[in-house]
Amino acid sequence: MSGEDWRERLRGSGYRLTPQRELVLGAVEKLGHATPEEVLACVRESSSAVNLSTVYRNLEVLEELGLVRHAHLSDRVATYHSATDHEHFHLVCRKCQRVSSVDPDVAGSFATRLREEYGFEPDLGHLVVFGECVRCESDGQ
């Protein structure tokens, strides 16, 4: 999504375009996957006038507008990523904590089965699969 598109979406939903919103969205896009604390650290490189509650409030607004998404990649706080990136779900290695983004087509038959057998439409963008990556699996043998 171009910079102008998200600005229009913000205004069209009754929100003001603030420097803090722009900094928060920019930090999420720069970091890829980031906790609110990581977003704050990135934002503070440009502005010390932003605090953690401002980051949380802006992440909430940006998610409501479909500009960012969150997933729980650990037992910690949610991790945010840009929704303007390709739709994906996550694989998280329990040993090395490596996060891999996976195209939702990989889970296509799983999603189809949920729809057909359970009448349920999965939100794959929030899906996180925990396990062990090949690198860690081969190190353990």
The domain that contains 15 carries what CATH number?
1.10.10.10
The answer to whether 26 and 40 have CB atoms below 8 angstroms apart is no
Q: Does residue 24 sit in the same domain as residue 54?
A: yes
Nearest residue to 34 (alpha-carbon basis) of 10, 65, 62: 62
Alpha-carbon 88 to chain mean position? 9
Q: Does residue 110 sit in the same domain as residue 53?
A: no
Please state the domain count of the chain. Answer: 2
For 79, counting Cβ atoms within 10 Å of its Cβ (0-12 exposed, 13-18 middle, 19+ buried), the class is buried
This prediction has a pTM of 0.74
Q: Which of 82, 104, 124 is the last residue of a domain?
A: 82
Nearest residue to 56 (alpha-carbon basis) of 85, 80, 82, 84: 80
Question: Can you give the CATH number for the domain in which 115 is found?
Answer: 3.30.1490.190
What's the residue count for the chain? 141
Instruction: Note the pLDDT tens digit of each residue in 39-82.
Output: 999 999 988 889 999 999 999 999 998 889 888 887 667 889 88
Q: Does residue 68 sit in the same domain as residue 130?
A: no
- Rounded to whole angstroms, the maximal C-alpha distance in the chain is 57
For residue 7, give its domain range: 3-82
Q: Does residue 68 sit in the same domain as residue 94?
A: no
State yes or no: pLDDT of 9 exceeds 70. Answer: yes
